[in-house]
Structure 1
Amino acid sequence: MAKHKKWSGLTASAAVLASVTVLSACGSNGNNNAAGSASSSSSASASANGGAASGGAASNEKVTLRLFSNLPDRKSGQGLAEQTVIDNYMKENPNVKIDVEALAEEPFKNKLKAYMASNEPVDITMVHGGAELSTLVQANYVKEIDPAAYEGEQFNFLPGVYKSFTFDGKLYGLPRNSDYEVIYYNKKLFDDNGVKVPTTFTELTDAIKAFRAKKIAPMSINGKDLWSFGELYQNIVQRYSGDQNLILDAVEGKKKFSEDESFLKAAQYMAQLRDGKLFQDAFMTADYGASQNLFTQGKAAMWYMGSWEAGMATNASLPEEFRNNLQVAKFPIAADGKGVATDLIAWNGGGYALVNSSKHPEAAKKFFDYLFNANQWAKVAWDTGAAVPAQKYELTGKESEVQKQLTDVLVQATSTPGASFIDYGTPKFKDDVQNAFGKFFSGGQKPEELVAALQAAADSQ
């Protein structure tokens, strides 16, 4: 079995903080001096755009490539950014047609498993780093790539971003975004109801009571998908322990979920949030889209989600009042904990991989390289406000307020784990952990039962 490369917490933190230094040099307000200081590397990438990375133009042979994506909305956000890069490539390479099959998150995951089982000849697929990519690697469905080929200004990847795509020292894909958890909130709902944006666990509890009294859902979450519970638990554990590595060490067996008090305290606080009705009614039946719709329609005050949702601020299909009041907050701290507000749960989760059964491996590789050219995905995703890339990006001065706030959260980070704990173990571990959270939130289990289930998952992986 291919083992996921285990990460040194110190190395992961240093790598992300090195990335932050690059962004901080650009500044968070998009001033002219800051933009100029970052433009040299971007210009170098742009000049490389017409070189090898554009690929395929020398041949007149007609080629149709298949790209499998988890971004079904092609008119806004990351789906628009992805489609823009595809359109750019097809314009520069008229002999190449790229057919996109795009499904929502959970249907995408299920169909990718089916494609893997049947060795379906997709050319490029979106992948989730960590446990899910590990399954594809073990099945020999995705292709190993050479990390040395993606060094330098042509691609401009930030330090340390390959970790969740690396198994047994080999690289099997590239990340598209820098992912980190925040709380998106509706400023108008807070202001109109006289509620303080929570910075501590106590203030979050107060906000829950205040919004419930007004018959407003305090926070929306995609409970049906289960994985957000894992990110939430990791955040809470860190706020109590102050240690980004603690939960990762527990996955590896270096520590015990059942022995460190931070794990139980986190489970107890999660039970308090559950029983206090932090989440919307029937949250366990809400998938990603349903949870987002509730928030964007102004029916929930907060949404616990990642930096990849930056595009909400510029999505013209969403209500203008919502977009004008969309804000970003750091995860609250525990008054009796050791974590601080600048401790950030950050990693590189989503990306793309080449498929071994591709019928056009050379053409697929050329488009893959073009996609990750620093002047394509990274630039388009940032300029359109779709996401925070895993590559260096240049501030334009036209950033949305949400983009500025997300950048501030990242540049102010003083520590990161470099990994989501649910993806840090084996695929079985991830399944067991997500099922444990499902039982905890739907069945009203005790905190001690959740901790025991997490320990059992770590022991049996």
Structure 2
Amino acid sequence: MKKRQIGMLLCAAAAAIALAGCGSGKTKTEDTKAGQESSKETGKESSQAAAGGDVVIKVFSNLPDRTSGQGLIEQMLFDQYMEKNPNVKIQVEALDDESYKTKFKAYASGSDMPDLVNAWGQPSFLDEVIDAGLLAELNPADYKDYGFIQGALDGFSKDGKLYGLARNTDVMAFYYNKSMFEKYGVKVPETYDDLLAAVNTFKAAGVIPVSMDGSDKWPLSIYINALYQQYNGSSSSKEIREAVKTGDYSNEAWTKSLDQLKKSIDAGIFQTGFETTDYATSMNLFTNGQAAMYYMGSWEMSMATNENIPEEIRNNIGVFNMPAVEGGKGTKTDLTAWNGGGHAVTANSKVKAEAIKLLNYMYQPENWSKLCWEKGVCMSAQNFSQYLTGKETALQLEFVDKVNHATSISGVTFNDLGTNQFKTVSEDASVEFAIGQLTAKDFTDKLAGAMKK
């Protein structure tokens, strides 16, 4: 793929409604002032580091696998930083997403919050954290040459102030086993009816059609969001935000999306017990050949290079978007995508200046962005066009092509658009609906009620 094409990818993402406008809203004078205040606040600490004093930076990460994927890249950068700065020691505590969020709350209520933490640039996570004064303000001017794509830092900004940096451009889609599709004569679904036909074929052959991580709940919420996009097309992002804000879920696309999900589950689209299947198990069902498809994000594109996955699997992984639904306004080029996870520095860190230096080092374009692309791990939230190798995996190129040709992009999905309470209620409701404990009306009533509390 030519560099110009990757440039088009980033332009497409920039033009999309969900990823538009990354300015912090601060003037140059305000940026300078913020930088000066930050320097004064951490002057003693910086002097100690400059004098060669030992500095211990504690990191809390949601990337527990340090041997592959983004966890490997994060650890590589930490190791490089310590090699360049012998007086700095980086201590990492890493947990899976849900365990991470639980312990983050515990840290937040105490005084021992680690110095550099993972943060999600979504209202459900970040708003309360910022309002509680837990994150250090960053100087936007420091990142003017970092190549963040337009809109990438919006989720980490509030009231014109910047509190974190985005790691990736995340795209949700169906991974599929090409050789398994060929074996059973299944074509890549163009429509949702095609997908349901594929479900019937794989079920008849004793193969799990789509592996679903139901235990973590958010994948099911995103699935509903993606179906909504297919029913209402490019206007979906605005409509969904308005629904969460007002509590008005009268748009028939909600009912249609929920009905389609229920019809799919009744047809056996997911594995038995999907509601209690965790992230690792659902992924293993796909990577060991028990499932023909796997619904997950682009951050798992490194499956194609992960040598722990059997070669016949990793060499035959493709990806497709949520298919178009009958009578819907959307198309298969409407993308469920956003800039989500990232890193932030805690406000009360005793080594704040050094933690910010580490953060800034990680996100220098030749570090995170370059390594992630060259290792086939993910699409960063920065312009990675200059790091093309000509050895990209087919999965990398497929995801790039999808963003490049997206007719609309969802932005943050409904479950993350409200408060933390709303997130909990909406994701619980997604699972409860999926297993038949709620009707479609019960589901939307729960969402409406959650924002009124």
TM-score range, shorter chain: 0.7 to 0.9
Assess if the C-alpha contact under 8 Å between 2:14 and 2:150 holds in 1: no
Assess if the C-alpha contact under 8 Å between 2:18 and 2:412 holds in 1: no
Once the two structures are superposed, residues 133-162 of structure 1 have per-residue CA deviations (whole angstroms, 9 ceiling, x without a partner) of 22322222211222232112xx11111111
Code of the residue aligned with 2:177 in structure 1: it is: N
CA distance in 2, matches of 1:95, 1:275: 59
Assess if the C-alpha contact under 8 Å between 1:184 and 1:326 holds in 2: yes
CA distance in 2, matches of 1:15, 1:246: 12
CA distance in 1, matches of 2:408, 2:127: 26
The corresponding residue for 1:412 is: 405
The alignment partner of 2:219 has SS state of: helix
Match of 2:16 among 4, 13, 18: 13
Match of 1:83 among 57, 61, 75: 75
> What's the offset of the Cα at 1:85?
0.9
The alignment partner of 1:218 has SS state of: strand
The corresponding residue for 2:42 is: none
CA distance in 1, matches of 2:376, 2:111: 35
> What's the offset of the Cα at 1:456?
2.6
Code of the residue aligned with 2:410 in structure 1: it is: P
> What's the offset of the Cα at 1:191?
1.0
CA distance in 2, matches of 1:127, 1:367: 16
> What's the offset of the Cα at 1:426?
1.1
Code of the residue aligned with 1:60 in structure 2: it is: G
The corresponding residue for 1:7 is: none
The corresponding residue for 1:27 is: none
Q: TM-score, normalised by structure 1?
A: 0.85
Is 1:97 the counterpart of 2:100? The answer is no
Instruction: Identify the range of structure 1 (433-442 vs 297-306) with the bigger mean alpha-carbon deviation.
Output: 433-442
The corresponding residue for 1:443 is: 436
> What's the offset of the Cα at 1:395?
1.5
> What's the offset of the Cα at 1:449?
2.4
Assess if the C-alpha contact under 8 Å between 1:17 and 1:414 holds in 2: no
The alignment partner of 1:224 has SS state of: coil
Once the two structures are superposed, residues 189-230 of structure 1 have per-residue CA deviations (whole angstroms, 9 ceiling, x without a partner) of 111111222121101111111111111111011101100111
Matches within 5 A, 1:69-218: 69-130=61-122, 131-152=124-145, 155-218=146-209
> What's the offset of the Cα at 1:457?
2.8
Assess if the C-alpha contact under 8 Å between 1:124 and 1:364 holds in 2: yes
> What's the offset of the Cα at 1:443?
3.4
The alignment partner of 1:223 has SS state of: coil
Once the two structures are superposed, residues 263-320 of structure 1 have per-residue CA deviations (whole angstroms, 9 ceiling, x without a partner) of 1111110111121111111111111111111111111111111111111111111111
Is 1:292 the counterpart of 2:283? The answer is yes
Assess if the C-alpha contact under 8 Å between 1:211 and 1:217 holds in 2: yes
> What's the offset of the Cα at 1:438?
2.0
CA distance in 1, matches of 2:138, 2:95: 26
> What's the offset of the Cα at 1:16?
3.9
Instruction: Identify the range of structure 1 (211-220 vs 410-419) with the bigger mean alpha-carbon deviation.
Output: 410-419
The corresponding residue for 2:324 is: 333
Q: Is there any run of 5+ residues in structure 2 with no aligned partner, and where? A: 1-12, 23-45
> What's the offset of the Cα at 1:15?
7.0
The alignment partner of 1:316 has SS state of: coil
Is 1:428 the counterpart of 2:421? The answer is yes
Once the two structures are superposed, residues 308-343 of structure 1 have per-residue CA deviations (whole angstroms, 9 ceiling, x without a partner) of 111111111111111011111121011210001111
Q: Is there any run of 5+ residues in structure 1 with no aligned partner, and where? A: 1-9, 20-54
Match of 1:234 among 225, 230, 233: 225
The corresponding residue for 1:322 is: 313
Match of 1:387 among 378, 395, 417: 378
Code of the residue aligned with 1:135 in structure 2: it is: E
Aligned length: 412
CA distance in 2, matches of 1:411, 1:360: 41
Instruction: Identify the range of structure 1 (414-423 vs 170-179) with the bigger mean alpha-carbon deviation.
Output: 414-423
Is 1:453 the counterpart of 2:449? The answer is no
Code of the residue aligned with 1:188 in structure 2: it is: S
Q: TM-score, normalised by structure 2?
A: 0.87
> What's the offset of the Cα at 1:99?
0.9
The corresponding residue for 1:45 is: none
CA 1:260/1:347 → structure 2, altered by over 3 Å: closer, same or farther? same
Code of the residue aligned with 1:442 in structure 2: it is: I
The corresponding residue for 2:54 is: 62
> What's the offset of the Cα at 1:364?
0.8
Once the two structures are superposed, residues 59-93 of structure 1 have per-residue CA deviations (whole angstroms, 9 ceiling, x without a partner) of 42211111111111111111111111111111111
Q: CA RMSD in A?
A: 2.0
Is 1:251 the counterpart of 2:283? The answer is no
The corresponding residue for 2:34 is: none
The alignment partner of 2:171 has SS state of: strand
The corresponding residue for 2:31 is: none
CA distance in 2, matches of 1:163, 1:199: 33
Stretches of 4+ aligned residues off by more than 3 angstroms: 14-19, 55-59
The alignment partner of 1:114 has SS state of: helix
